[in-house]
């Protein structure tokens, strides 16, 4: 329902005027976004600069006339005469500047309604409800992938930590083996690996003999034979 229908005191022309004003304000904001200043403030700045230069030139003119015609006119008369040119120049300039300002605001400092700034092009596409659902689903999947990646990174960090601990143990064992090799070498043992293998085999055989002895003792078997074998083994 339009404003003119809801408020009998507002005419259709008032409504149209308000729409034009809103559109003008919107265009002004858009132009300010692009140029960094309002077009009207630019034209006002140009006009004010002219006025400043005009008054400065009038002062220069006044000083010149005071030097050239001081015998014909006093200082006050010269000032009044110099300032009389201001309205003449201002009237002529206003007429010319109004045309210039209109041209600037309509052709140079104006962004047409069909032009979209680069930073606003992302908003030009209007997505349907289905497209929004697809985008939401993609976002959900990406979030899940991020969580999975974080979990994998945490697992890899734990794995790396475990590997570092194992490597530390290996390094320690390697250092012990180096020390053992040095001791064996100093003791005249020719081959540490062969010696360790020999000792391991001996220990295994002794463990087996102890198991047999315990088994015979459990069933009350005379251990003389076992002792004989054990003694013979030691030989």
CA angle (94, 97, 100) in 5-degree steps: 160
Quick one: pLDDT at residue 140?
A: 93
DSSP 7: -
- For residue 89, the SS3 value is helix
Q: Which of 110, 125, 140 corresponds to the end of one domain?
A: 125
Number of folded domains that form the chain: 3
**Same-domain pairing of 201 and 183:** no
**Same-domain pairing of 121 and 159:** no
**Same-domain pairing of 42 and 120:** yes
CB 111 within 8 A of CB 27: yes
User: Rounded CA gap, 11 and 2, in Å?
Assistant: 11
Domain ranges, residue 103: 37-125
Burial bucket for residue 194 (CB in 10 Å: 0-12, 13-18, 19+): exposed
**Same-domain pairing of 144 and 216:** no
Kindly report, residue by residue over 99-146, the tens digit of the pLDDT: 998 898 888 888 877 777 777 776 667 778 888 889 999 999 999 999
Q: Which of 125, 151, 171 corresponds to the end of one domain?
A: 125
- List the chain residues with pLDDT less than 70: 1-26, 122-124, 189-193, 218-235
Quick one: pLDDT at residue 220?
A: 56
**Same-domain pairing of 119 and 133:** no
Q: What is the pTM of this model?
A: 0.41
């Amino acid at each position: 329902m339009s404003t003119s229908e809801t408020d009998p005191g507002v005419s259709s022309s008032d409504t149209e005027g308000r729409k034009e004003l809103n559109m003008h304000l919107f265009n002004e904001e858009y132009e300010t976004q692009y140029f960094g200043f309002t077009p009207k403030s630019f034209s006002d700045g140009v006009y004010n600069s002219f006025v400043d230069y005009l008054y400065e030139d009038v002062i220069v003119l006044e000083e010149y006339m005071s030097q050239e015609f001081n015998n014909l006119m006093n200082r006050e008369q010269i000032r009044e005469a110099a300032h009389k040119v201001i309205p003449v120049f201002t009237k002529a300039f206003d007429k010319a500047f109004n045309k210039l300002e209109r041209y600037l605001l309509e052709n140079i400092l104006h962004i047409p309604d069909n032009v979209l700034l680069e930073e606003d092009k992302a908003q030009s596409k209007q997505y349907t409800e289905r497209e929004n659902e697809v985008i939401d689903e993609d976002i959900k999947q990406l979030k899940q992938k991020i969580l999975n990646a974080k979990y994998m990174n945490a697992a890899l960090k734990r794995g790396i930590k475990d590997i570092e601990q194992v490597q530390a143990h290996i390094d320690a064992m390697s250092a012990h083996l180096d020390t053992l090799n040095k001791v064996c070498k100093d003791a005249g043992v020719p081959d540490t690996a062969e010696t360790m293998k020999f000792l391991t085999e001996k220990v295994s055989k002794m463990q087996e003999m102890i198991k047999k002895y315990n088994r015979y003792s459990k069933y009350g078997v005379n251990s003389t034979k076992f002792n004989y074998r054990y003694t013979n083994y030691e030989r």
